[in-house]
Structure 1
Amino acid sequence: DMGALSNIAAGHAGARTADAPDEWLAAQRADYRTSYSWPLALNTPVIGAINGACVGLGFTTCLYQDIRIASENARMGLIFTQRGLAIEHGSSWMLPRIIGLARATELAITGRLVDANEALEMGLVNRVVPQDKLMATVREIASGIATKCSPLGVAQAKKMIYQHLFTDLATGVRDDDASMEMMTHSEDFKEGVEAFVEKRAPRFTGK
């Protein structure tokens, strides 16, 4: 939004981005208590449908999505250095962990845009699809998670992945095993086994 940037450059305050609910946010680890990082703490997956230009703040926002699906006409980049800025809202922490240090540094310094295929090649997006199939693909992924996966298992898997970005391997092994032990006592585990044995779709409850 060049209008917003123009206001900031002229010394006028920009609109404040809406935060997650304060009470919920206060219960999360400090790393998740920001305007943009809080989706990492959600129990449910966040799936991004990227279509057209995904630059600046749009690019920053997509880094906090769990799964990113791009249309063939998507273009992505930081662009900040080309506007007299640098990098924002933890992108400097997230981007190297998604695409690696060398590629992250290049994108941050040059501000160049990458097309959908290059974004896929560098691991910035999970999949590239034709534009007219973008939303159908995203809904298919979401539906598959909703109908085939345990809500409790999904929440725990996401929690372990992001939590262990901040820890060492030994802690990851310990926490994963404790999580798995907890899950073996859940109703969802019992249902998952029974559904497999009975060759039917599971009916998970998230308990």
Structure 2
Amino acid sequence: MELKVTLYEVDGPVATITLDRPERLNAWTGRMHTEYRWCLAQADADPAVRVIVVTGAGRGFCAGADARALEGHVEKGGYDPGTPPDIPRPGFGVHPEFDHDFAYHFGLAKPTIAAINGPAAGVGLVLACFCDIRFAAAGAKLTTAHGKLGLPAEYGLSWLLPRLIGLAPAMELLLSSRIFLAEEAERLGLFHRVLPRDDLLPSVYEYARTLARTVAPSSLRETRRQVYIDLHRGVGPAVSEAQRLLDELTAGPDFREGVAALLEKREPRFWSPPPAN
């Protein structure tokens, strides 16, 4: 696919997807959604990639739906996602609940980390919330945005946000559509860390490479799937599935390497950087 509004780069075990409309604060369009899903599919299928980082070009993460697209919805008298019928489907086929817009993140085999470098509004905040872990630049402005446009909470955020930060604070942010800062989001538990802007990406990449280097890829894959599937079922099935996976993974090479590293008092070699030229 020819990428026009996103960038896709792979460096060792980390793939980076950059929303790339900096002149519009990376406002979301159907083209961007299509390209974003294609990039996710590439990263998920690449055996060399262990972690996926999502960020924005310039001074914003994603300012929400593009104003011109919103104007188009008014003219058409309804919502038009602007995506083709053959849009890529990363994460589909793992669990029926995940076969929907943005919920497809839950079906990926690899963790996603949002590096929120600036404003995230509406669908931009949705995208950040559907990532597994979130880092943000100090002072980044955030808003659910939908209320002031006369819209419902978007793309399942009404289901996800209460599970991330609790019902009461999520309800307040969803009902008010007010602007809040990264520092408040960190206090609410939405962000893992808030950092000076210049430190954001270096810290995210350090964290991503540590995950890739020290945690077995099979464990990353199955743990995140356990978490998201278990959100839809009771504790009994969760325990049974954990036992099934325990039996499966103890027969695999990652477990053997992890035990060997423990006994030899060294870091496990789940991934090694390519040799220098």
Taking structure 1 as the reference length, the TM-score comes to 0.91
Cα distance in structure 2, aligned partners of 1:102 and 1:34 = 26
Alignment match of 1:154 (pick from 220, 223, 228): 220
Counterpart amino acid of 2:230?
Answer: H
Residue in structure 2 matched with residue 130 of structure 1 by the alignment: 196
Cα distance in structure 2, aligned partners of 1:203 and 1:124 = 31
Q: Secondary structure at the match of 1:49?
A: strand
Is 1:3 the counterpart of 2:71? The answer is no
Alignment match of 1:119 (pick from 185, 189, 194): 185
Q: Secondary structure at the match of 2:266?
A: coil
Choose between structure 1 and 2: higher helix proportion.
Answer: 1
Deviation at 1:125, TM superposition (A): 1.0
1:1-207 equivalences in 2 (<5 Å): 1-11=66-76, 13-16=80-83, 19-21=87-89, 25=92, 27-204=93-270
Q: What is the CA deviation profile of residues 22-71 of structure 1, one whole-angstrom value per residue up to 9, with x for unaligned ones?
A: 7x62x222211112111111110000000211001101111110000011
12-21 vs 185-194, greater mean Cα deviation:
12-21
Counterpart amino acid of 1:15?
Answer: G
Deviation at 1:74, TM superposition (A): 1.2
Q: CA RMSD in A?
A: 1.8
Choose between structure 1 and 2: higher strand proportion.
Answer: 2
Taking structure 2 as the reference length, the TM-score comes to 0.69
Counterpart amino acid of 1:2?
Answer: A
Cα distance in structure 2, aligned partners of 1:19 and 1:39 = 15
Q: Secondary structure at the match of 1:40?
A: helix
Dislocated runs of 4+, deviation >6 Å: none
Unpaired runs of 5+ residues, structure 2, are: 1-65, 272-277
How many residue pairs match? The answer is 203
- Equivalent pair of 1:54/1:77 in contact (CA under 8 Å): yes
Deviation at 1:189, TM superposition (A): 0.7
- Equivalent pair of 2:117/2:140 in contact (CA under 8 Å): yes
Deviation at 1:16, TM superposition (A): 2.1
Counterpart amino acid of 2:269?
Answer: R
Deviation at 1:21, TM superposition (A): 3.1
Structure 1 residues 42, 145: CA separation in 2 closer, same or farther (over 3 Å shift)?
same
